[in-house]
Amino acid sequence: MNLLTIENFSKAYTDKILFHEASFHIQEGEKIGVIGTNGMGKSTLLKIIAGIEETDSGTVVMGNHVRIGYLMQTPIFADGDTVLTAALAGVDMEDMVLVSQAKSMLNRLDLTDINQPISQLSGGQQKRVALVNVILQEVEILVLDEPTNHLDHEMARWLENYLISYRGAVVMVTHDRYFLDCVVKRIVEVDHGKIYSYPGDYSQYVEQKIQRQNMELATERKRKSILKKELAWLARGARARATKQKAHIQRIEDLLNQEGPLEEQKVELSSVASRMGKKTIELQSVSKSYGEKRLIGDFSYIFLRHDRIGIVGPNGSGKSTLLKMIIGEAQPDTGVVELGETIRIGYFAQDNVHMDPEMKAIEYVREVAEYIRTNDGKMTASALMERFLFDGTLQWSKIGKLSGGERRRLYLMRILMQAPNVLIFDEPTNDLDIQTLRILEDYLDAFDGIVITVSHDRYFLDRVVTRIFALEGEGHIQQYEGGYEDYLKARALRYPEESMAGGKEKLSSQTSKVVQNEKRVSAKPRKLKFSYKEQREYETIDEEIAKLEEKSRSLEQEIEANATNSMKLGELMKEQVELQQMMEEKMERWVYLNDLAEQIEAQN
């Protein structure tokens, strides 16, 4: 049964068009993942579905008695709410079963003090309370904006399993590719005002998108080839009746008026890391406690030049504290943190802590430098912003008017342009779109320095890191070799009573499927070149076509001269048909060879 349909709708903010005559629908029980580049309108689409915002045009039709629960990116609570009352807002607080469920879910999400004022919680904790609230509501459609942000790995798996078994429909925006692969059955991509729908999970989406783009490119190549052929034919002065010439001209105009597929914009990360000396970062017997809670106890480690370290553990276990001790924002209770003289740290914090909402985006970048050194040479701040998908209009926008994802991308750009040789990330995947994450992952592959990251994104850890530091309680940090999947396997052997095999097997299949498909997206194209035969043909084909055209003109003169000789005329007309076919084949070949020559020249 169809629960919601939005037909031919448009939506714009001032001069920015987010949707133009797009359509969207939700069927009963569907699990839909919404993805797209930051700023394209993902959150706006969710707000339209939830009835928070209206479309500029188009129709919205909702089934009778359909109720919607909406988890916004930044929840809003009533004054005086506690954790429990906020979780139960809008539901029957006299229903003891619901109250019991709320307490159980809050406990699952590490919110144990149910009487604590909501105003005392961090932003991540408040988001988890709001998640419990929306799940408790009896609705037909759950609309979730970044539900996995601020969830640790165990919490994410719990939510994963809950949504898989949930009977209602789910529409969500999330960057977590493993989560998408486990939960959703349809991917909706928001791209340049349009909505593309792909049946299946995230892995199937990656494959189907490649097929769609290839079909669009093939259609566009065919259009250009026909256009070249028509233009070349007329440019050569091919003789024809006036009506045929008019048909040619009309055909050319029609082809010229057709719009080709929009080329997908991609963030381009290019930076030069500073030279690193022999001494890197050394932790010597460091420990840290807050009150009676011991987070890190007597931990030592010397970072190697190309270390890729992932730090995992439950929320509040001390992951961010460890990062802050490395960068000097927090001091260890005991022990020493030593940095080599050449170490330059780029620190990507959970929040964009240094961003003034009234400052223009380009001014924020120019605080670092007007000119930036990259692998391609010297570049202006404005040109670098173009590479990060900040066009001229966006560059002069105030930071406060950018989307959350655009602000994160701007923040990332500012860090990378400082040419650090150590990159430290605290939850880098929050609010970054999947496309930017893929490119960041490729960038880190080639980064000539140390990478240290705290992340709840299982795919990101599997893709980037080669060693895991797991904070396992009571200040103990256990090292595991490999990525997140390797960590799960090793931990299952170390602590068999935790029964982590199910998660391990699920991730194992996901890793091979998702990684393999995404590698197809970023694979470098094969270098084009002429074969020996094609090169010879390319050099002589113009002369061959000219000879055929000359023969065609002579044949037309013969036909005119033998107009009254029916027998001779029949032979000449048959010859003309065969010659016309030869010319058509030669022109097709001419278009192909010239198109190939242009591509070879472009890649060189």
CA distance 448 to 375: 12
Alpha-carbon torsion, ordered 528, 525, 386, 376, to 10 deg: -70
- 106 or 242: which carries more pLDDT confidence? 106
Annotate 391-406 with DSSP letters as a single string. Answer: -HHHHTSBGGGS-HHH
Residue 184 backbone class (left: φ over 0; alpha: ψ -120 to 50; beta: rest): beta
The helix or strand, by DSSP H or E, that contains position 573, with its residue range, turns out to be: helix 566-603
Q: What percent of the chain lies above the pLDDT cut of 90? A: 39
CA distance 54 to 335: 57
CA 201 to chain centre: 15
Question: What's the angle, vertex CA 301, arms to CA 299 and CA 307, rounded to 5?
Answer: 135
CA distance 431 to 39: 11
Q: Indicate whether 526 pLDDT > 70.
A: no
Identity of the highest mean pLDDT range in 205-219, 473-487, 538-552? 473-487
CA distance 203 to 201: 6
CA distance 545 to 541: 6
Which residues are CB-neighbours of 79 under 8 A, at least 6 positions away? none
pLDDT at 541: 85
Q: Indicate whether 112 pLDDT > 70.
A: yes
- 16 or 268: which carries more pLDDT confidence? 16
CA distance 91 to 133: 8
pLDDT at 593: 80
pLDDT at 99: 92
pLDDT at 506: 47
pLDDT at 477: 94
pLDDT at 504: 42
Task: Please state whether beta strands 68-71 and 16-27 pair in parallel, antiparallel, or not at all (unpaired).
Answer: unpaired
- 331 or 514: which carries more pLDDT confidence? 331
Q: Which of 49-58, 241-250, 339-348, 493-502 is predicted with the least confidence, judged by mean pLDDT?
A: 241-250
| C-beta of residue 3 within 8 angstroms of C-beta of residue 28 | yes
Which residues are CB-neighbours of 507 under 8 A, at least 6 positions away? 178, 458, 462, 484, 485, 488
Q: What percent of the chain lies above the pLDDT cut of 70? A: 85
Half-sphere exposure of 425 (CA within 13 A, CB side): 30
Q: Encoding tokens for residue 397?
A: 């926008």
Q: Output the average pLDDT for the chain.
A: 83
Whole-prediction pTM value? 0.70
Angle, helices 501-522 vs 434-446, to 10°: value is: 80
Task: Please state whether beta strands 377-380 and 371-374 pair in parallel, antiparallel, or not at all (unpaired).
Answer: antiparallel
Helices H / strands E in the chain, number of each? 19, 20
**Mean pLDDT along residues 53-63:** 93
Q: Encoding tokens for residue 197?
A: 């729908």
pLDDT at 307: 94
- 288 or 532: which carries more pLDDT confidence? 288
pLDDT at 575: 85
| C-beta of residue 71 within 8 angstroms of C-beta of residue 134 | yes
**Mean pLDDT along residues 396-418:** 85
pLDDT at 507: 47
pLDDT at 505: 42
Q: Encoding tokens for residue 493?
A: 């052997």
**Mean pLDDT along residues 316-321:** 89
- 263 or 103: which carries more pLDDT confidence? 103
CA distance 466 to 485: 11
Q: What is the pLDDT of residues 1-57, one digit of tens each?
A: 899 999 999 999 877 889 999 999 999 999 999 998 888 899 999 999 999 999 999
Under DSSP, is residue 457 helix (H, G, I), strand (E, B) or coil?
coil
**End-to-end CA separation in angstroms for the chain:** 54
The helix or strand, by DSSP H or E, that contains position 295, with its residue range, turns out to be: strand 293-302
| C-beta of residue 378 within 8 angstroms of C-beta of residue 313 | no
CA 29 to chain centre: 26
Per-residue confidence at 282, pLDDT binned at 50, 70, 90?
very high
**Mean pLDDT along residues 362-380:** 79
**Mean pLDDT along residues 271-278:** 75
**Mean pLDDT along residues 100-115:** 92
Instruction: Residue 90: count other Cβ atoms within 10 Å of its Cβ.
Output: 10
The identity of residue 380, as a single letter, is T
378 beta partners: 373
CA distance 45 to 454: 30
The helix or strand, by DSSP H or E, that contains position 337, with its residue range, turns out to be: strand 334-339
Q: Encoding tokens for residue 191?
A: 């791209």
Block residue for tokens 């935790």:
498
